[in-house]
């Protein structure tokens, strides 16, 4: 079949890759450049997401952990295992035993291909391992493992696989309309395909609405911002923001420290950038645990819009699951994490059939 794919983020590229592997012809349309939107503004983790266990999302966590291992095994130049510390302070909102149960389950869900089991470290062991961490009130902590990637370069690696299989990747080609009959319109021309897949991330619902396609999944775009601090870090940390008890990360990344993230609902027409409030929030959270960083140490900020499926009022509890809907010859993809993009693509290829 001839398939037109809309969106050149990791989910669009992975969809194109899976369709080509299934024997289809693929032409992908990206309005800007490949991998320049949400997919290169992530926390750079290939992970199951420990916190999704709290929401009972066992299927998603298991699939993500399997996928984490796939990327680490197949693209070791761009994805590597990362040691993370989960310190336990006297003031923590989650007990040591609750964390232990979560980490135990996390290791079990990773299965035999896990990249290292978690373990408890005393305060002395932890401060030897991570001397930069605030010691007062520290009771010890857990060490566990996840994957870290260069999200932009790893996405371009997938784009290379697409080109190798004969896929056509068109940049600066905005799609104005799609249809249930398999048509797709750009400013210049109209194309007819056997199937069209709308994988436009946070903009998927808007494209369908502009095409007079009613209903389907509703998106809830939620911005997440990060800071890059000009200071190195030896291991990663999963911490609790003192302001609101939300989990956030401080990670070593390309010789700097990556701090994030936030969750702020926003409209699609608002600029996607880290606000002064988010910057202050992240700096304050970081400074609660580490030697004070001053605003001048912020080398860069960046932000992305999560393509979440609309659920309840609490964005912190919104699922990272994806959903695939078919109407006639149009397939629309909503949601999805970076880590699970390959599975999402395979699922779309199954839906398209052959």
Ligand X SMILES: Cc1cc2nc3c(=O)[nH]c(=O)nc-3n(C[C@H](O)[C@H](O)[C@H](O)COP(=O)(O)OP(=O)(O)OC[C@H]3O[C@@H](n4cnc5c(N)ncnc54)[C@H](O)[C@@H]3O)c2cc1C
- Residue 114 to residue 97: CA distance in whole angstroms: 21
By the rule CB under 6 A, 18 interacts with ligand X: no
Of 207 and 318, nearer to ligand X (C-beta) is 207
Shortest CB 210 distance to ligand X, Å: 8
- Residue 66 to residue 127: CA distance in whole angstroms: 32
Neighbours of 286 (CB within 10 A): 23
By the rule CB under 6 A, 345 interacts with ligand X: no
Residues with Cβ within 8 Å of 244's Cβ and at least 6 positions away in sequence, in order, are: none
Residue 299's region, left for phi above 0, alpha for psi from -120 to 50, else beta, is alpha
- Residue 146 to residue 17: CA distance in whole angstroms: 25
Among 29, 145, 253, 281, binds ligand X (CB under 6 A): 29
Of 138 and 282, nearer to ligand X (C-beta) is 282
By the rule CB under 6 A, 78 interacts with ligand X: no
- State the residue number with the nearest CB to ligand X: 9
- Residue 56 to residue 251: CA distance in whole angstroms: 26
Supply 54's token pair. Answer: 């709290």
Supply 318's token pair. Answer: 């919104």
Stretch that binds ligand X, among 54-62, 106-114, 198-206, 281-289 (CB under 6 A): 198-206
Of 38 and 127, nearer to ligand X (C-beta) is 38
Computed over its alpha carbons, how large is the radius of gyration of the chain?
21
Strands 256-260 and 219-229: antiparallel
Stretch that binds ligand X, among 103-111, 196-204, 234-242, 309-317 (CB under 6 A): 196-204
Among 4, 87, 304, 345, binds ligand X (CB under 6 A): 304
Contact code string over 222-241 relative to ligand X, x by CB under 6 A: --x-----------------
By the rule CB under 6 A, 69 interacts with ligand X: no
Stretch that binds ligand X, among 38-46, 81-89, 293-301, 310-318 (CB under 6 A): 38-46
Asked if 156 and 34 count as a contact pair (C-beta separation under 8 A), the reply is yes
Residues that bind ligand X (CB under 6 A): 6-12, 29-32, 37-39, 41-45, 47, 174-175, 199-203, 207, 224, 261, 304-307, 336-339
């Amino acid at each position: 079949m001839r398939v037109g794919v809309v969106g050149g983020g990791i989910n669009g590229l992975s969809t194109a890759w899976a369709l080509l592997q299934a024997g289809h012809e693929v032409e992908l349309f990206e309005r800007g450049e490949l991998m320049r939107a949400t997919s290169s503004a992530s926390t750079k983790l290939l992970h199951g997401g420990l916190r999704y266990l709290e929401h009972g999302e066992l299927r998603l966590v298991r699939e993500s952990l399997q996928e984490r291992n796939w990327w680490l095994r197949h693209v070791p130049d761009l994805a590597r295992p990362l040691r993370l510390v989960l310190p336990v302070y006297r003031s923590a909102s989650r007990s040591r035993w609750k964390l232990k149960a979560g980490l135990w389950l996390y290791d079990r869900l990773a299965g035999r291909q896990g990249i290292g089991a978690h373990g408890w470290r005393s305060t002395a062991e932890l401060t030897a391992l991570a001397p930069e961490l605030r010691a007062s009130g520290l009771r010890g902590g857990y060490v566990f493992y996840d994957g870290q990637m260069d999200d932009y370069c790893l996405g371009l690696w997938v784009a290379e696989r697409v080109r190798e299989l004969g896929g056509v990747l068109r940049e600066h080609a905005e799609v104005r309309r799609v249809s249930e009959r398999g048509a797709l319109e750009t400013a210049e021309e109209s194309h007819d395909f056997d199937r069209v897949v709308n994988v436009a991330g946070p903009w998927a619902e808007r494209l369908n609405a502009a095409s007079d396609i009613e209903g389907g999944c509703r998106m809830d775009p939620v911005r997440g911002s990060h800071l890059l601090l000009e200071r190195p870090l030896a291991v990663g940390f999963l911490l609790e923001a003192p302001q609101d008890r939300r989990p956030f990360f401080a990670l070593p990344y390309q010789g700097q420290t990556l701090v994030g993230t936030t969750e702020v609902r926003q409209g699609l027409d608002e600029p996607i950038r880290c606000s002064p409030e988010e910057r202050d929030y992240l700096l304050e959270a970081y400074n609660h645990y580490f030697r004070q960083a001053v605003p001048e140490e912020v080398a860069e900020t960046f932000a992305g819009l999560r393509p979440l499926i609309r659920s309840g009022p609490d964005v912190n509890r919104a699922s990272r699951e994806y959903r695939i809907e078919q109407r006639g010859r149009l397939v629309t993809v909503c949601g999805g994490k970076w880590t699970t993009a390959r599975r999402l693509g395979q699922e779309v290829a199954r839906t398209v059939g052959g």
